[in-house]
Amino acid sequence: MELEGKVALVTGGAGGIGTGICEVLAERGCTVLVGYHRSAQDAAALAARLGNSQARHAALAVPVTDTAALAQAASRIAAEQGRLDILVNCHGTTRFVPAADLDALDDELIDRVLATHVRGTFATVRALRSLLVAGGEGLVVNISSIGADLAIGSNIMYCAAKAAVNTMTKSLALALAPAIRVVALSPGLVETEAAKQFEQSFKDAHIARTPLKRLATPRDLGQSVVALATLMTAVTGEIIAVDAGRRMA
């Protein structure tokens, strides 16, 4: 319960990775705000089952590409929680497009991926900055991807967007120090419900190229957030791979 009394917001909290992060934070005593865009019902259900009677878990609308709505979310957090200690930017969107098929990577998808991952991440930090600063030990964790380094992912623009998130993480770490630390966690393929839709041969090939011979799990990401919040308190501006070693291979 080392995070008891702390408040965390996880954008995209009802998604596969976000759910694991929310669960681990709640288990460690944190009050968790499950941020959502369209999945209000899933977010509310997750908040209800997180347990921990001492915490006031709740679902919260956080449409990251809507600056006015982000301001409303910040006001609600201030009124209902009175603080925000941890922000996990776990929102995202993508669609699989073969890298060589440039025509299939249409303008609508490009704009949506960049707006969600890049502008949305920045806008969320901007909207919640004052709350994070108020506590004096704010932590922002951006969920990136090893696609930023490997240039292999769901599509070319997704990889480019995650590379931008990595650079933004470093820039924000410099701009917001010392009151707020900013770190990125960079997973590869994660064992989520969505990953179960992949052909087993694809997953087996991925695992075969991974030194630890397994996929990272959402809870691995959650444990990493906890470590950053409680133990790795001298870390900021870093991009930390949580990928079972896949990036090295």
For 245: left if phi > 0, alpha if psi spans -120 to 50, otherwise beta; the answer is left
Please indicate whether residue 36 is annotated as part of the active site. Answer: no
Residue among 92, 132, 138, 158 flagged as catalytic: 158
All residues at 6 or more sequence positions from 211 whose CB lies less than 8 Å from its CB, including other chains: 244, 245, 246, 248, 249
Percent of the chain with pLDDT over 70: 98
Stretch 9-34: mean pLDDT, rounded?
Answer: 97
The verdict on pTM exceeding 0.85 is yes
Q: Domain 7-248 is in which class?
A: alpha beta
Q: Does position 184 have pLDDT exceeding 70, yes or no?
A: yes
pLDDT digits (tens, 9 = 90+) for 116-160: 999 999 999 999 999 999 988 999 999 999 999 999 999 999 999
The helix-helix angle for 218-230 and 16-27 (nearest 10°) equals 40
